[in-house]
Every structure is written in structure tokens, then in C-alpha cells.
Amino acid sequence: MDHFPIFLALKGQKVILVGGGDLAARKLRLLRKADAAVTVIAPTLCDEIKELVAGAHIGYEERKFHSSDVVGASLVFAATDIEAVDASVSHAAQAHGIKVNAVDRPDLSDFIMPAIVDRSPMVVAISSGGAAPILARNLREKIESILPPALGRLATFADSFRGAVKGTISGGNERRKFWEDFFDGPVAEAVLSGREVSAREKMLGLINLNWKEERKAGHVAIVGAGPGDPDLLTFRAMRFMQQADVVVYDRLISDDILDYVRRDADRIYVGKAPGKHSKTQDEINEILVQQAQKGLRVVRLKGGDPFVFGRGGEEMEVLQSEGIDVDIVPGITAAVGCAAAAGVPLTHRDHASMVTFVAGQNGDGITQADWSGLANNRQTLVFYMGISNADQIASKLIRHGLDRNTPVAIIENGTRPNQRVLPGKLLDTAHMVETHNITGPALIVIGSVASFASKADFQQIAAGAIENKNVALYLNEVAVAGL
């Protein structure tokens, strides 16, 4: 290890920054976050530093650097990108025993600046020792995308209860177990989700009641996994998936999605297909209740969004009636994700001012729909689960006044590598389904906007997405390796 990692307290400390260009601006941003007393020395300033100097209590000396400028400073930065000037600054600081950093000049520097992930008070610093700064930056970007934006708030929240926990739970080992459960539990999730008032109430209950008994109460997250492409998973969805003890999943959840689930989690398949139900809805509800009552962290993983034709509302009601805590994690619903992957805008100023989602199977949408209202040429219709009733859907719309030549797009396996986009006309919908042997999950998009499906080749738009490893999968591999 060529450089010793250390975090310095610079609040109120004198720091000299020599340089007024973009290099200096980058350093100034970080120094401001550390509340250092910065003085900038440079003949001219870039616009960003001018604004910072004008509004942020930063000193400025409009002149060239003198060796005496470093006297009394805690740190010195040379950021002029002029070799002779940066060398002069470095030599002056070192002559006075002051640590100096010359940007991109490790030979003139006593310390180097790491790539930083800032979730204050949580801060991650990454360094290659100057050998590969771009690699350090790339690693920082991966970590940035993994860590929740509210991680700092969670650390501050936990710190505010440290005294109460220490006064209530005796023994260091017991407190350690408490905090381990806290950071993986529903209270922390409430903080990360912005529900801090609710989190404080739950935290007080944990501390004042028997927290060991609370550990026995399970939790269910009903998670929308999106239309199929793993890159469309939300960070919150992946967080729950990687914390889960048990995952209950549907047939629309592909192996590519399941790769993001914690590897030692139990998996329970409850998929339903037309005429082939692995489990009834009542049986699924019972599984969720039983698993949660064992004290497990359960993820109910659904394709698309759980509250859009996903029966997530029904499952939520059952769980809440049993006193089980439930989190709902929205996903990109199939209509939105698949239409985008097919190049079809669901709304467009020149084509459609509204969009309607319709359940296309008997008993839900076909027999109950307001066909007169649906047969409107200024809106977009998206039929879920309508392939087996494509002929009936088209006939009813035409009968109620929608032009038989209205554009239609059938999107099969939307966002996935085997996506197919089939453009056509309303009167040909059933023929398209039969001719092209539509068997995978598919949507029928009807309306003027469907004409966009024939204007670009989006057939394989998702093909490369799954080949590229997502950050969450990378994190999962690191966790399993124990790194």
C-alpha cells in the first residue's frame, strides 16, 4: 500500500488553492463540502469559481502565487495545469512542511485525491495510488449506482438513536444484533423510502418494546419487476431482492431477473398461465402469510407493476388483515416499458391525448368494458392478456365506431432479447395473432400512435441489454465472494 488512507477534518482549516480554471473548480467543490476555509489564488477565474467566490465565503487573491502564501495552511492544492507554477507551489509547501497535492502530478504531491462517493456522513473513497485514475472513477460510478441516495439520512437517523439503544439494550453483543436487524429491516427501509416520521415511530416501538419479539414478525415486499429486461429493475426492487429470505414469483419472471435475487433465498414458483394455474390466488395469499409469519423477509415478485393488473392490491389487503407489514415497490408496467421498447409513444400531441389500459381476458375486461368510450380515435388503447380474444376485441371496437384501418401493434416479449413487434391494422388483428403464432406474453396497442411501430426497427432493441452485466448483479457476486 503506497498511500495510507485517511479522512481529514478540515472544517475551518486554512486551505490554499492555487489556480482558477476547471481543475481548480473540481477541487473547490470538494473543499466546500468539507467546510474548509479556502483561499483561491489566481490571476483569473473561470465562471464557476467566480460564482462560488461571490456567494460562498471563499477568499480570493487576484494575483500570481508567492511562496509565502502557504504559511499557516493545513493543506495546499496546485491546480493550474502549468508545470512550472505547480512545481513552485509544491516546493514552497514542502519547504514549510505542509502537505500538498498537485493535480495529475503524483511526483509533486504528498497525497493524492481519491474518487469519492458522497453520502454524508457515509463517504467512500477509492484510489488506485495514481496508477489508474480512470479505473478508480469507473469503480466509483458502479458504487454510486448501488448505494441508495438516502444512505446518509439513514446513518444520521441511526446515530440519533444510539444513546437510546445503548441505554435500553444491555450488552455489546445484543446491541450489535439489534443494529444488524435494524439496517436490514423495515425501519431502515422506511428511512430510505423517505418515510422518516413513520420510521421514528417504529424505531421507538423497537427500542421500548421487546425487539427480539419484533424480530419474529416477518415482512412482505410486493415488488414490480418490470416487463422483462433486468436493466429496468428499480434500485429499490433490487435492494429487496438481495435481502429476501424467500421469493414468491410468477411465470413472467425470467431467469435473468431471478439472477438478481440473493442466491441462498428460497424460491417458490406460483406462476399462472391461461388454463394452467400452478397456484390459485387464495393459495398464493396463504403462502405469503405463512412465510411472513415464520419471521422471514418475503419478496412477492411480479412482472410489470404489481398494482396494474397484477393483483398486488388483493395480496396487500390479505397481508394487512393478518397484521403483516407490507411494502409496495412499483415497477415499469408492461404497457409503458414494451411500448417504449417498440418505439411507440403512448401519447403524442398529434395523435393521442389519453391512454387506456384494458384487461383483455373474459371476466375482467371484455365483458365489462365501455366499448363506446374505447372506440375513440384520439386515444391509445393497450390491451393486456388480450391475445386469445384478439378477434373479439377488434370486432367490438369496429362495431362501436372505431375505423377498421386504425393502426395496431402487437408487442410480444417486450423489452426482452426475443422481442417481436408486429405492426398492422385493426381489422387484421386476429389474423396477425394466428399467422405469427403469438405465444409469449404480448400486448395489443391500438391507435394512431401504433403506426410508429413500422417506422423503425426495434425488434431486437433489448438484445444487448441482458448481455451487459448490471451493477446489481456485480454487487451480488461481490457479496457472495465475501469481498
Catalytic residues, by residue number, are: 250, 272
- For β-strands 276-277 and 59-61, DSSP reports them as unpaired
433 carries a ligand binding annotation: no
Q: Positive or negative CA dihedral for 85, 91, 92, 98?
A: positive
303 carries a ligand binding annotation: yes
Residue among 367, 147, 368, 363 at smallest CA distance from 238: 147
Residue type, 2: D
Residue type, 49: I
121 carries a ligand binding annotation: no
186 carries a ligand binding annotation: no
Cell reading at 450: 401504433
Residue among 402, 418, 416 at smallest CA distance from 450: 402
327 carries a ligand binding annotation: no
- For β-strands 219-224 and 325-329, DSSP reports them as parallel
SS3 category, 364 = coil
3-state secondary structure 190-223: HHHCCCHHHHHHHHHHHHHCCHHHHHCCCEEEEE
229 carries a ligand binding annotation: no
Spatial distance between the Cα atoms of 144 and 124, rounded to a whole number of angstroms: 9
Residue 41 φ then ψ, to 5°: -120, 115
Cell reading at 428: 387484421
122 carries a ligand binding annotation: no
Q: Give the up-direction half-sphere exposure of residue 104: CA atoms within 13 A in the CB hemisphere.
A: 9
Contact call for residues 258 and 223 (beta carbons, < 8 A):
no
414 carries a ligand binding annotation: yes
Residue among 479, 442, 472 at smallest CA distance from 256: 472
227 carries a ligand binding annotation: yes
Q: Give the up-direction half-sphere exposure of residue 239: CA atoms within 13 A in the CB hemisphere.
A: 22
Residue among 10, 24, 11, 94 at smallest CA distance from 61: 24
- Give me the long-range contacts of 350-353 (CB less than 8 A, separation at least 24): 351/378, 351/380, 351/447, 351/448, 351/449, 352/378, 352/379, 352/380, 352/447, 352/448, 352/449, 353/378, 353/379
Residues annotated in a binding site for S-adenosyl-L-methionine: 227, 303-305, 308, 333-334, 385, 414
Residue numbers belonging to the annotated binding site? 22-23, 43-44, 227, 303-305, 308, 333-334, 385, 414
Residues annotated within a binding site for NAD(+): 22-23, 43-44
